């Protein structure tokens, strides 16, 4: 992880990776984080109800409705500030994810 990434960027990355349900290793690789950073962010994100956890043989994390709303506002603000150079397609993808009703551990 580069030092230039801001906290909101890290939170958004975690929520993006966990949108369809992910274990800790998938989040670590998908967000380019080390375990210490992940252990710093996940408990706070669970406390704020941005992610939920399902405990099986290993923990599976899933972005909640509130987390999806965070992503929508985050990417909307980035698009508003920086225009078309920002990935606005992700906002549309998030809208589609919100409508899916399948269990988060099913990909």
Q: Does 107 fall in a domain?
A: no
CATH number, residue 26: 1.10.10.10
Q: What is the pTM of this model?
A: 0.73
What tokens appear for 100 in the block?
């899916």
Question: Rounded distance, CA 67 to CA 18, Å?
Answer: 10
DSSP characters over the chain: --TT--HHHHHHHHHHHGGG-EEHHHHHHHHT--HHHHHHHHHHHHHTTSEEEEESSSEEEEE-HHHHHHHHHHHHHHHHHHGGGS-THHHHHHHHHHH--S-TT--
Is position 100 within any domain?
A: no
Residue 56 lies in a domain: yes
Cα dihedral: 65, 35, 103, 99 (round 10) = 30
Judge whether 28 lies within some domain. yes
> Within a 10 A sphere around the Cβ of 91, how many other Cβ atoms?
17
Residue with tokens 């397609």: 89
Does residue 1 lie within any of the structural domains? no
pLDDT in tens, 38-96: 999 999 999 999 999 998 788 899 999 999 999 989 888 887 776 665 555 565 666 66
Residue 44 lies in a domain: yes
Q: Quick check: is 105 in a domain?
A: no
Q: Is residue 102 part of a domain?
A: no
Domain count of the fold of the chain: 1
Split at pLDDT 50, 70, 90, the class of 100 is: low
Under a CB-based contact definition with an 8 Å cutoff, are residues 36 and 23 in contact?
no
Q: Domain range for residue 14?
A: 7-95
């Amino acid at each position: 992880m580069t030092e230039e990434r801001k906290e909101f960027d890290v939170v958004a990355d975690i929520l993006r990776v966990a949108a369809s349900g992910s274990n800790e290793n998938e989040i670590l690789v998908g967000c380019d984080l080390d375990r210490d950073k992940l252990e710093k962010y996940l408990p706070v994100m669970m406390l704020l109800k941005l992610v939920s956890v399902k405990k099986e043989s290993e923990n599976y994390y899933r972005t909640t409705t509130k987390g999806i709303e965070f992503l929508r506002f985050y990417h909307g603000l980035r698009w508003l500030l920086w225009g078309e150079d920002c990935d606005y397609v992700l906002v549309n993808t998030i809208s589609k994810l919100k409508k899916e009703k399948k269990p988060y551990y099913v990909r």
